[in-house]
């Protein structure tokens, strides 16, 4: 429409980072990525599958630079990586470990994210041999109460995260 100007708003950018601790450290070691994030007004989602001092150091760098950070507690790859319908009680324990690690290293999270997916081995099996999924998934289909139990456990976990002072995102 002639004569009307539309103000363009800057998009809110979020970058997800799923690197292991050594590659994460390397990515942020020279400060250029932090400068770019600051210039973009972006936030970073950090997948926390290890509770290492190296990962904590990077989060502190982002905190000190004023970059909003979302912490996503996960299991180590060998333990299934993602939070799932079937590991909800362990997910609450892992969140507690994440919270303790956060306090130990003085980290600041703007949000906590919960990444609920099938176990990583399901994706690996799908790539290796899709027919191998049948014996993997068949026992899960027999348990009619598993989803209801998981829903109850994850509602309690979200309530706990809120009580700890963080907003929660789910992926």
Domain coordinates in residue numbering, the chain: 14-170
Q: What is the pLDDT of residue 121?
A: 67
**Cα–Cα dist 115/126, whole Å:** 19
Residues in CB range of 12: below 8 A, 6 or more apart? 41, 42, 43
Instruction: Reply yes or no on whether the pLDDT at 5 is more than 70.
Output: no
Task: State pLDDT tens for residues 34-67.
Answer: 999 999 999 999 999 999 999 999 999 999 999 9
Instruction: Reply yes or no on whether the pLDDT at 4 is more than 60.
Output: no
Rounded to two decimals, the pTM is 0.82
Q: What is the pLDDT of residue 106?
A: 98
Instruction: Reply yes or no on whether the pLDDT at 138 is more than 70.
Output: no
Task: State pLDDT tens for residues 111-132.
Answer: 999 998 766 666 676 667 777 7
Least confident span in 15-19, 107-111, 138-142, 143-147: 138-142
Long-range CB contacts for residues 99-106, cutoff 8 Å, separation at least 24: 99/164, 101/48, 101/51, 101/56, 102/71, 104/56, 105/53, 105/56, 105/59, 105/60, 106/60
Taking residues 153-164, report their average pLDDT. 98
Task: For residue 139, name the pLDDT band (cuts at 50, 70, 90).
Answer: low
Which of 35, 76, 80 lies closest to 55 in space, CA to CA? 76
As a whole number, the mean pLDDT across the chain is 89
Instruction: Reply yes or no on whether the pLDDT at 3 is more than 60.
Output: no
Cβ distance 43 to 13 under 8 Å? yes
Taking residues 19-45, report their average pLDDT. 95
Q: What is the pLDDT of residue 128?
A: 76
Q: Which residue has the higher pLDDT, 159 or 138?
A: 159
């Amino acid at each position: 429409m002639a004569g009307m100007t539309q103000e363009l708003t800057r998009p809110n950018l979020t970058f997800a980072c799923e690197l292991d601790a050594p590659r994460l450290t390397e990515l942020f070691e020279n400060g250029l990525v932090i400068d770019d994030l600051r210039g973009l007004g972006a936030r970073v989602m950090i997948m926390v599958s290890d509770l290492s001092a190296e990962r904590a150091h990077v989060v502190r760098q982002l905190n000190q630079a004023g970059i909003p950070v979302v912490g996503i507690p996960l299991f180590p790859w060998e333990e299934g990586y993602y939070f799932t319908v079937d590991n909800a009680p362990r997910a609450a324990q892992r969140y507690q470990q994440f919270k303790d690690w956060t306090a130990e290293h003085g980290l600041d999270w703007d949000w906590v994210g919960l990444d609920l997916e099938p176990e990583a081995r399901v994706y690996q099996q799908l790539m290796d041999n899709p027919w191998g999924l049948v014996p993997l998934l068949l026992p899960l289909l027999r348990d009619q109460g598993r989803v209801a139990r998981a829903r109850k456990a994850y509602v309690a976990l979200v309530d706990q995260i809120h009580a700890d002072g963080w907003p929660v995102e789910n992926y």
